[in-house]
Structure formats: C-alpha cells, structure tokens
Amino acid sequence: MPKVTLLNEKNGCADVSPELLEGKRRLSAQEIYVLIQNRNISSDPDWQNVYVSAVPGEFNAAQVVQSEFSGTVVLGAIRPATLKYHDLELKTGIYRSVLQDVVTGDDCVIRNVSYLANYRIGSRVMLFNIQEMSCTRHSKFGEGILKEGEPEENRIWIGVGNENGNRAVLPFSGMIPADAFLWSRYREDKDLLRRFVELTESGNDRRNDTYGIVADDVVIKNCTLLKDAKILPFAYIKGAFKLKNITVLSSEAEPSQIGEGVELVNGIMGYGSRVFYQAVAVRFIIGRNCQLKYGARLLNSVLGDNSTVSCCELLNNLIFPFHEQHHNSSFLIAATVMGQSNIASAATIGSNHNSRSPDGEMLAGRGFWPG
C-alpha cells in the first residue's frame, strides 16, 4: 500500500558530492522569477536545491517550462540550441517534466518525462515522452551482486543448462559464454564455484548509494518504464515497454538499440545488439552484435555474440556465438549449445519433459543443426 511521508515546510537540498558542484552556482533572483513565471515549482521555496552552470550564458531560464524539481538537481548548460536524431528535432531544455535528485550534462532535452528520479544524465541526451524513469539506491544493473543488508535470496541467478537451477550462474558485465560454461559445468568443485561468486562481487562496494546512468548522446523516447537502468553512450531506445535492472552496453562504434514493446528485466545487453518488436528477455546475458526480435522470448539464458533469435522462445539455454533461430520454433529443453548452430523453422526440441518434473537437459556440439 502507498506510504505517506509528511514533508517539512522547507524541504531543502540533500548532501551533494563536491565534484558535482564544480563550475556550478545557485540561481539568481531574476532566474527564479523567470522560472516561477514559466509555471515551474521547487520543493524548496527559495530554490536552493537547484544548481546551474556558472559559465556566463550557459543557463537560460526561459528554456525550463512547467516542470517540478525536488531533492538536489544539478543542471548542465541550457542554452539556445536544438538536438536532432533522425526526424526528431527538439529544442534543448526542460519542459513539462518532474526531476528529483537528478544531474544533467550539457545541451540536453528533457521533455514530457512524468517522473525522473535519481539519475545522472550525460551531455546531448534526448529524453522525450517517458512515463517513469527512476532508480533505487540498491540497484545492481543486472549484475549478480548484493548491496549492504541484502539477503542471499535477493541475488539474481541465470539458470542456464538446467531448469532446476543446478547449473545457475551469476551475470556480470563482460560475461561471455565460456565464463558461463566453466561455471555451469564444474559443479563438483565447490572452491571454484565460491571463487566465481567472489570474482562477480569484485569491485562491488556494497553501499546503498547507486544512481541510474544515461551516458552521452543517448536517445530515449516514447517509453513506459525505465527502472534501475545503466544506458551507455549512443544507445537508441524507442517505444520500450519495460526496462528494469539492466545494463545496455553501447558505444559510438557499436551502438545498441531497443525498439517497440520490448521488455528487458534483470540482465545485460551487449555492445551493438538490437532488441525489437515485442521481444522479451528476463534473467539474461545478450552478447555483442546480437538480434532479438519479433516476439522472441529469452528466459534464464546466455546468448553468445553474433546471434539472431526471432519468433521463438529459448528457456534455460547457454548458447555460444553464431546461433541462428529466426523462424517459429520451440527450444524448451534446457541446453548448452556450442555455437555455429541453427534451429530450423517449426523445429520442436524438448517440448515436454520425461516426467512431471523439469528434468530434461542437453549438451549439443558446435554446428548443431536440427530440422
């Protein structure tokens, strides 16, 4: 049920990291007047929770319209300019949006974002028509780590190769199928399994102070929900339905894309990959230069580089690179497939179990090509 928290008459700014305020200043009285005239409001009546660029000419209050600010908001340059991506061209600034504990870079567009909370936004970012974009303080961005105070059952495992979880692995950024293979196959070596968990946790400070990340030159438009997301540079996201607890790896050389109706939950998407047209992935690793599209379902699986999955479902699979499954087919048996494989149209593999329990498991070599 919703929880009511009474606010003080003056809800000022929280503690701010000093490096975030380098080259920043508070608003002038004239700027506050312009903001109020443009129907903006702040949780602090004195607007002491909003910081802007200290460089002369890099903050134009007229480009902030009908928006709401709470917590601590640190803004980069807002100056007369437009951002254009494909056929979408918008004036920089903040329009009809709600910002809470947000840091932005220079020359961004934030327009019609109904709720934007606890994010660090890079420069030249376009956020357009988004219902909710928030991040908890304990986000893991799809990795199998734990934050301070969290019980072991909160850890996200990917149940590759076996439906009962007996070959489950923990996802981490940069994981490749060979990592998952070693982890899922040598189950009798308890010391090795313990070291894999330790390696996954390496670099995790466990502090509950995370924030969402949208890096430079990212475009996100017409989306319903983004929660606990790390989006790296040059990613393009349009019309996604639900993106939760994920990392989208992307770069100028290998931009990643997410399209209409997509749901991605608890996973990591590789550089240069594309997920389109109502595809769903839950507890997953998607490698580099992969495609997941046309209603495909990828659940509890690791998909290797340069693979295409369309119109089908893959459950509890560990698949090495160069896998093709681009027609309607059913690959339900828990499997480890060693790559350069193809699942033909209408193929049905493991559509039922040998008993009433999920007891099927298969290891297929390189070049697996069933009809």
Give yes or no for a contact between 147 and 207, defined as CB atoms under 8 angstroms apart.
yes
For 71, 116, 233, the CA distances from 100, given in Å and listed in that order, are 5, 6, 22
Give yes or no for a contact between 151 and 137, defined as CB atoms under 8 angstroms apart.
no
Q: In which band, very low, low, confident or very high, does the pLDDT at 165 lie, cut at 50, 70 and 90?
A: confident
The residue ranges of every structural domain in the chain are 1-134, 140-371
SS3 at position 4: coil
**Cross-strand pairs, 361:** 334
| Per-residue pLDDT at 5 | 76
Bigger pLDDT: 42 vs 329: 42
| Confidence (pTM) | 0.94
CATH number of 140-371: 2.160.10
Half-sphere exposure for 202 (CA within 13 Å, toward CB): 9
Bigger pLDDT: 227 vs 352: 227
pLDDT tens by residue, 62-96:
999 999 999 999 999 999 999 999 999 999 999 99
Please report which helix (H) or strand (E) contains residue 196, including its range.
Answer: helix 190-201
Q: Above 90 in pLDDT, residue 270?
A: yes
